[in-house]
């Protein structure tokens, strides 16, 4: 809608968020989600750097593309016929967040700009925060920082948000980008605004910090973009309409609030995100690929010293998803084990998913992560499984607030004449909404396909010992139990 509506509440203009008078000084690209995206001069200074262009080599869906490719012999590329958009990258996503951040702040400026004191400085800051929020992201989505680094750096807590801050400073220095220090400081604050323990606290125009990375209630344009982009890429239906929220939001008491009648729209935002985690991000076979890539990177780390690249932006920006191709095509003896794992993925010889169960609701509060050792200790005395044979993943899926209802953190207003905000009790909206807001799913895999039956039985024994019954939904597939592998 931008500044082209002359203060009237009208449908979004075809031109998007950029004011008409800035078009002569901007560049536009066509995005398959948002249509034409207009990039201003300041944004282009960052985009036209090798550090930002690196995001083209970071797939938004991480190892998911390896799974899709491995669905066909030797990665024939036929995946593009089934999932033509499944190869979108952090580059497209970053441009999309830039555009939505621009749209959001322009809407607020159009309708409440004088009241809120929104200036051009604020608009530029929010836009750059959207553009640069993922510039420090590691390869293979969040797997790199959550699963690989803690295992090679003794439990290190490293975040791509922190690296984004370092990368921004590095880009500015390396390319002599002329940017106001105050703008740069606020851009970096906005990027880490949602990080636990890094709240920006009470700030002037606090609502601006909630647009890109909302630590207050989890509603931000980052989610708007990746939910829309990922559901489209994977061919899934998405009944969440972020446009409705963008059109009706308003600021009350320094907080972005939403019209009360959009309660169910907001619920769909969180439930759609949870569905993506269940059906895409945490798909059992996709997680099997994740586990294999983590093992491959760990085995390659001594030779390639991958973890050493996270210390300095000057080295880190050279790390991307192509590290897998580097391993796969190397002939070095030290990379043989890692190389064999990557080739197993290509040949669809992936770690075998044995089974899973959902932790009973009454056990969620005091649940302790299940380990491979727990499963080994539950095997029959005549079995000979060792810890290396078993991998356990504890998958947590929630609506962003753990076991709590995320909508309890959101402030609403009744109508456009209202100047008061309030919270809404869910039983005032519907009795069909969930009574529980979190799932914990325990999954077990084996690295050796011949051990599926033994691992599955030990997993069943563990459930009987822990809960007094088998809580898994499906029995171990008979075809896996009968599967025989020829000795090589």
Q: Which residues does the annotation mark as catalytic?
A: 160
Instruction: Find out whether 229 and 92 touch, Cβ atoms under 8 Å.
Output: yes
User: Are the CB atoms for 446 and 390 separated by under 8 Å?
Assistant: yes
Q: How far apart are CA 168 and CA 135, in angstroms?
A: 8
Q: From CA 333, how far away is CA 375, in angstroms rounded?
A: 34
Provide the angle, in degrees to the nearest 10, between the axes of the packed helices 221-233 and 90-116: 150
Q: Within the chain, what is the greatest distance between any pair of CA atoms?
A: 79
Tell me how far apart the alpha carbons of residues 249 and 9 are, in angstroms, rounded to a whole number.
Answer: 12
Give the three-class secondary structure for 260. Answer: helix
Annotate 49-109 with DSSP letters as a single string: SHHHHGGGGSBTTTTHHHHHHHTSTT--STHHHH-TTTT-BHHHHHHHHHHHHHHHHHHHH
What's the burial of 8, exposed, middle or buried (CB within 10 Å: 0-12/13-18/19+)? exposed
Asked if 241 contacts 429 with a C-beta cutoff of 8 angstroms, the reply is no
Do the Cβ atoms of 196 and 181 come closer than 8 Å?
no
Q: What is the C-alpha separation between 107 and 249, in angstroms, rounded?
A: 9
Pairwise CA distance, residues 457 & 475, whole Å = 10
Helices vs strands, H then E, count in the chain: 20, 8
Q: Which of 437, 412, 414 is nearest to 422 (CA)?
A: 412
């Amino acid at each position: 809608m931008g500044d082209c509506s002359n203060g009237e509440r009208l449908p979004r203009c075809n031109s998007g968020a950029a004011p008409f008078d800035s078009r002569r000084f901007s560049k536009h690209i066509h995005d398959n989600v948002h249509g034409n995206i207009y990039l201003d001069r300041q944004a282009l200074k960052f985009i036209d750097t090798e550090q930002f262009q690196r995001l083209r080599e970071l797939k938004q869906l991480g190892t998911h593309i390896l799974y899709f490719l491995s669905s066909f012999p030797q990665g024939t590329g036929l995946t593009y016929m089934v999932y033509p958009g499944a190869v979108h990258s952090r580059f497209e996503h970053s441009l999309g967040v830039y555009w939505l951040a621009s749209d959001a702040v322009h809407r607020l400026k159009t309708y409440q700009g004088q009241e809120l004191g929104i200036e051009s400085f604020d608009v530029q800051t929010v836009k750059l925060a959207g553009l640069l929020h993922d510039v420090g992201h590691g390869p293979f989505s969040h797997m790199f920082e959550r699963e690989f680094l803690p295992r090679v750096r003794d439990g290190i807590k490293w975040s791509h948000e922190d690296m984004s801050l370092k990368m921004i400073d590095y880009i500015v220095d390396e390319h002599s980008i002329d940017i106001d220090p105050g703008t740069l400081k606020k851009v970096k604050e906005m990027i880490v605004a949602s990080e636990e323990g890094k709240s920006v606290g009470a700030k002037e125009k606090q609502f601006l910090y909630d647009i890109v990375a909302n630590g207050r209630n989890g509603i931000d344009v980052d989610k708007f973009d990746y939910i829309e982009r990922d559901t489209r890429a994977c061919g899934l239906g998405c009944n969440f309409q972020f446009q409705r929220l963008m059109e009706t939001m308003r600021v009350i008491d320094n907080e972005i609030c939403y019209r009360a009648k959009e309660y169910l729209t907001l619920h769909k935002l969180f439930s759609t995100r949870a569905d993506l985690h269940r059906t895409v991000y945490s798909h059992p076979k996709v997680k099997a690929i994740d586990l294999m890539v983590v093992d491959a990177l760990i085995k390659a780390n001594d030779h390639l010293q991958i973890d050493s690249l996270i210390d300095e932006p000057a080295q880190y920006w050279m790390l991307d998803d192509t590290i897998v191709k580097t391993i796969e095509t190397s002939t070095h003896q030290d990379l043989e084990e890692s190389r064999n794992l990557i080739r197993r993925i290509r040949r669809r010889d992936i770690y075998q998913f044995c089974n899973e169960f959902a932790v009973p609701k009454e056990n969620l509060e005091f649940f302790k992560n299940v380990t491979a050792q727990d499963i080994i200790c539950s095997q029959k005395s005549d079995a000979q499984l060792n810890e290396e044979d078993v991998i356990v993943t504890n998958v947590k899926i929630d609506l962003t607030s753990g076991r709590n209802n995320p909508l309890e953190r959101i402030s609403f207003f009744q109508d456009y004449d209202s100047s008061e905000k309030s919270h809404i009790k869910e039983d005032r909206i519907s009795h069909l909404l969930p009574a529980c807001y979190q799932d914990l799913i325990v999954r077990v895999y084996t690295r050796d396909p011949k051990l599926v039956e033994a691992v599955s039985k030990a997993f069943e024994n563990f459930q009987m010992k822990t809960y007094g019954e088998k809580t898994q939904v499906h029995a171990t597939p008979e075809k896996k139990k009968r599967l025989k592998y020829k000795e090589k």
